[in-house]
C-alpha cells in the first residue's frame, strides 16, 4: 500500500490533471476551432460594452461540442471588460438538469445572483410564488447589475411533472423580463440544448416571446479532436505520453459522436490506468483498455439510471449468477425469478409477475447489459429462458447497491445465497 501511495503522489504521468478533466473551464488559448460560433457569440454580446441591447440565443448541437465552453469563455471576457469600465455584467447560469420545475429554476437563478453578489437570496425556496421569486431576481438586477445574461444549460431536461414541459413557462417568464423587470441594461436569454429541434417543441406562447439567434455546434472530426487534445498535452509530464496516444484517442472519439468530453475523459482514464500500473508512460494499450472500460461504464451508468423494479430484477439475475456454484455463464430465468421474489420481500418492495420480471430483464439487452435466449436442456427436457450478463455479476450488484434503497442488501448475503442454491438445485433436479 505504501508503495502505491508513493507512486500516486511522487511518480505518475500527470503534471496538471485538471487539464484533462472535462469540467474544468479552460483558458481561451486552449479553445480550438469553433471560430464561427465564437465569433457569433462575441458579436451578440459585444453591445453590452456600449450599453446597447443584446439578442437572445439558442446554442444547440450534440453533447461535447463546446456549447457550454464557448458561452462561458465569452461571458468571462465580457465580465472582465465590463469590470474595467466600472460596470457589472451578471452571468446567471443554471443547469436545468437539477430543478424539476420552472419555479425551482427561477429560485436557482436568484441563488446564482445572490452568490455572485455575496448577498442574501432574500426569498425562500418554497412557500412563496414564482412571481415573488422573479420579483426578487429583478430587484437584484436593478440594484447591482448593468447587464445580465441568463444561461439555461440543458434546457430540455426541465420537463417537469406535467404534460406541458416546464421549460415553456421558464422561457416565457424570463423572456418577458425585458418588459417587466424595469431594468435599464441589456438582457439576453440564452438556452443550451442537445436537440436540434428544440424550438419546435416549445408551445406557442414560449415561441412567440423567445426569438433567439440560433447557433449550431456540429460534431468534431478526428483532426479537430486531435488538435483539442494536443492543446492539453501539458496535462502530462514531458515524455510520459507516447506519440500515438492522442491520435488513437481522437480516432476512438470520432468513431462515436465526435464528443470532445468523451475524448478528454478517455485520455484521462488512459493516464489513470497507466498510473495504477505504476507505469510512467501512457501507451496505446492503456488507451484501448480504457476504451473498453468506458463502454463498460456506460452500461453501468445505464443500470444506475433505471427504475427500482428494473434494478431489482437485474439484481436478482446478478445475485443468482454470483451465488451459484461454478458461476455459470447462462442463468435460467426460473431460479432467477425466485431470487427476485425473495429480494422483493426482503426489501418490502412490490412483487411483480414472472412475465413482468422477464420483460424487465430482457429489455436491458437493448443496452448491452445482458443477452438472453430460449434453449433446451437436452432432448425432451423442455425449453427454458436463460440470461447471460455482459458484466461481472459482482460489479452489477455493487453498482445497484450504490442506490440507497439497495444498500442494505449487502447484509442479506447469506439468506440470498441459500435461496439461490436451493432453487438452482431444484431446477437441475426437476429438469
Ligand X SMILES: Nc1ncnc2c1ncn2[C@@H]1O[C@H](COP(=O)(O)OP(=O)(O)O)[C@@H](O)[C@H]1O
| Binding stretches for Mg ion (CB under 5 A) | 68
Residue 38 makes CB contacts below 8 A (sequence gap 6+) with 31, 70, 73, 74
Residue 38, binding choice from Mg ion, ligand X, none, Cβ under 5 to 8 Å by partner class: none
66 assigned ligand-binding residue: yes
Minimum CB–partner distance for residue 165 and ligand X (Å): 20
Backbone angles phi and psi of 121, in degrees to 5 = -55, -35
List 30, 46, 351, 401, residue binding ligand X (CB under 6 A): 30
Q: Contacts with ligand X in 152-191 (CB under 6 A)?
A: none
Nearest to ligand X of 253, 332 (CB atom) = 253
Residues 6+ apart with CB under 8 A from 324: 331, 420, 421, 424
Query: How far apart (Å, rounded) are the C-alpha atoms in residues 241 and 235?
Result: 10
Burial of 84 (0-12, 13-18, 19+ CB in 10 A): exposed
Strand partners, 213: 57
The reply, when asked if residue 279 is annotated as ligand binding, is no
Instruction: Tell me the C-alpha distance between 283 and 271, whole Å.
Output: 9
Q: Which does 300 bind (CB under 5 to 8 A by kind): ligand X, Mg ion, none?
A: none
Size of residue set near ligand X by CB under 6 A: 19
CA-closest candidate to residue 344, choices 405, 387, 426: 405
For residues 52 to 91, the per-residue mask of contacts with ligand X, x marking binding by CB under 6 A and - elsewhere, is: -----------xxxxxxx----------------------
Q: Provide the minimum distance between the beta carbon of 31 and Mg ion in the complex, in angstroms, as a whole number.
A: 14
- Binding partner at 261 among Mg ion, ligand X, none, C-beta below 5 to 8 Å by kind: ligand X
The piece of 22-30, 50-58, 126-134, 173-181 that touches ligand X (CB under 6 A) is 22-30
CB of 430 to ligand X, least distance (A): 53
Quick check: 228 binds ligand X (CB under 6 A)? Answer: yes
- The answer to whether the annotation marks 325 as part of a ligand binding site is no
Q: How is residue 358 written as a grid cell?
A: 422477464
Q: Nearest-CA neighbor of 144 among 176, 175, 122?
A: 122
SS3 372: strand
Measuring CA to CA, which residue among 194, 218, 186, 201 is closest to residue 56? 186
| Residue 282 phi, psi dihedral angles, 5° rounding | -95, 125
Closest separation between CB of residue 22 and ligand X, Å?
4
- Our CB check for Mg ion shows the closer of 181 and 191 to be 191
CA dist 81 and 79 (Å) reads 6
Point out which residues pair with 149 in neighbouring strands.
91, 188
User: Which one of 32, 96, 141, 420 is in contact with ligand X (CB under 6 A)?
Assistant: 32
Residue 352 C-beta: closest distance to ligand X, Å:
37
Which of 7, 17, 31, 87 is in the footprint of ligand X by CB under 6 A? Answer: 31
Which three three-digit cell numbers place residue 271? 493516464
- SS3 of 160, please? coil
Phi-psi region of 357 (alpha: psi -120 to 50; beta: other; left: phi over 0): alpha
Query: Which one of Mg ion, ligand X, none is in contact with 49 (Cβ closer than 5 to 8 A by kind)?
Result: none
Which one of Mg ion, ligand X, none is in contact with 346 (Cβ closer than 5 to 8 A by kind)? none
The annotation status of 69 as a binding-site residue, yes or no, is: yes
* Least distance in angstroms from the C-beta of 370 to Mg ion: 31
**CB nearer to ligand X: pick between 229 and 331:** 229
Q: How far is CA 214 from CA 108, 189, 319, 373, in A?
A: 25, 12, 50, 48
Q: Binding partner of residue 88 among Mg ion, ligand X, none, CB under 5 to 8 Å per kind?
A: none
* Residue whose beta carbon is closest to ligand X: 66
- Taking the complex as a whole, the smallest distance from the CB of residue 15 to ligand X amounts, in Å, to 18
* Cell numbers for 219: 460534431
- Minimum CB distance to ligand X smaller for 228 or for 344: 228
Considering the complex, state which of residue 265 and residue 272 has its C-beta at the smaller distance from Mg ion: 265
Residue 65 assigned ligand-binding role: yes
SS3 164: coil
Dmax over CA atoms of the chain, in Å, equals: 87
> DSSP 3-state assignment of 383?
strand
Q: Is 199 exposed, middle or buried (0-12, 13-18, 19+ CB in 10 A)?
A: middle
251 contact choice in Mg ion, ligand X, none (CB below 5 to 8 Å, kind-dependent): none
Binding mask 231-260 for ligand X (x = CB under 6 A): -----------------------------x
Q: Which of 11, 33, 39, 415 binds ligand X (CB under 6 A)?
A: 33
- Under 8 Å between Cβ of 128 and 110: no
Where is the binding site, in residues? 65-69, 220, 232
Binding residues for ATP: 65-69, 220, 232
Query: Which residues are near ligand X by CB under 6 A?
Result: 22, 26, 30-34, 63-69, 217, 228, 260-261, 264
Amino acid at each position: 500500500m505504501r508503495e502505491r501511495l508513493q507512486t500516486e503522489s511522487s511518480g505518475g504521468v500527470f503534471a496538471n490533471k485538471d487539464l484533462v478533466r472535462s469540467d474544468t473551464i479552460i483558458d481561451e488559448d486552449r479553445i480550438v476551432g469553433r471560430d464561427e460560433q465564437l465569433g457569433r457569440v462575441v458579436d451578440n454580446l459585444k453591445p453590452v460594452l456600449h450599453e446597447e441591447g443584446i439578442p437572445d440565443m439558442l446554442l444547440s448541437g450534440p453533447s461535447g461540442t463546446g456549447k457550454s465552453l464557448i458561452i462561458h469563455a465569452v461571458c468571462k471576457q465580457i465580465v472582465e471588460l465590463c469590470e474595467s469600465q466600472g460596470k457589472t455584467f451578471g452571468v446567471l447560469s443554471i443547469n436545468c438538469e437539477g430543478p424539476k420545475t420552472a419555479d425551482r429554476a427561477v429560485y436557482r437563478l436568484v441563488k446564482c445572483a445572490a452568490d455572485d453578489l455575496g448577498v442574501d437570496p432574500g426569498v425562500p425556496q418554497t412557500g412563496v410564488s414564482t412571481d415573488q421569486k422573479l420579483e426578487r431576481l429583478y430587484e437584484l438586477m436593478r440594484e447591482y447589475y448593468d447587464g445580465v445574461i441568463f444561461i439555461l444549460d440543458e434546457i430540455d431536461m426541465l420537463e417537469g411533472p406535467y404534460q406541458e414541459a416546464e421549460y415553456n413557462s421558464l422561457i416565457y417568464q424570463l423572456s418577458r423580463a425585458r418588459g417587466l423587470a424595469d431594468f435599464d441594461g441589456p438582457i439576453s436569454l440564452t438556452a443550451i440544448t442537445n436537440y436540434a429541434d428544440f424550438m419546435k417543441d416549445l408551445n406557442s406562447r414560449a415561441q412567440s416571446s423567445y426569438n433567439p439567434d440560433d447557433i449550431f455546434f456540429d460534431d468534431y472530426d478526428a483532426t479537430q479532436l486531435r488538435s483539442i487534445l494536443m492543446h492539453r498535452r501539458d496535462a502530462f509530464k514531458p515524455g510520459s505520453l507516447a506519440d500515438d496516444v492522442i491520435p488513437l484517442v481522437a480516432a476512438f472519439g470520432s468513431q462515436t459522436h465526435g464528443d470532445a468530453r468523451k475524448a478528454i475523459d478517455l485520455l484521462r482514464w488512459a493516464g489513470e490506468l497507466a498510473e495504477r500500473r505504476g507505469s510512467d508512460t501512457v501507451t496505446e494499450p492503456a488507451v484501448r483498455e480504457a476504451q473498453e472500460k468506458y463502454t463498460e461504464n456506460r452500461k453501468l451508468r445505464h443500470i444506475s439510471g433505471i427504475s427500482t423494479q428494473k434494478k431489482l430484477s437485474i439484481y436478482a439475475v446478478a445475485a443468482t449468477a454470483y451465488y451459484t456454484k461454478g458461476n455459470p455463464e447462462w442463468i435460467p430465468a426460473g431460479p432467477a425469478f425466485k431470487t427476485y421474489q425473495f429480494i422483493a420481500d426482503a426489501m418490502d418492495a412490490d412483487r411483480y409477475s414472472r412475465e413482468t420480471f422477464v420483460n424487465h430483464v430482457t429489455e436491458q439487452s437493448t443496452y448491452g447489459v445482458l443477452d438472453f435466449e430460449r434453449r433446451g436442456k437436452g432432448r425432451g427436457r423442455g425449453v427454458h429462458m436463460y440470461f447471460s450478463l455482459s458484466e461481472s455479476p459482482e460489479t452489477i450488484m455493487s453498482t445497484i447497491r450504490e442506490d440507497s434503497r439497495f444498500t442494505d442488501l449487502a447484509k442479506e448475503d447469506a439468506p440470498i445465497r441459500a435461496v439461490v442454491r436451493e432453487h438452482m438445485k431444484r431446477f437441475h433436479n426437476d429438469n
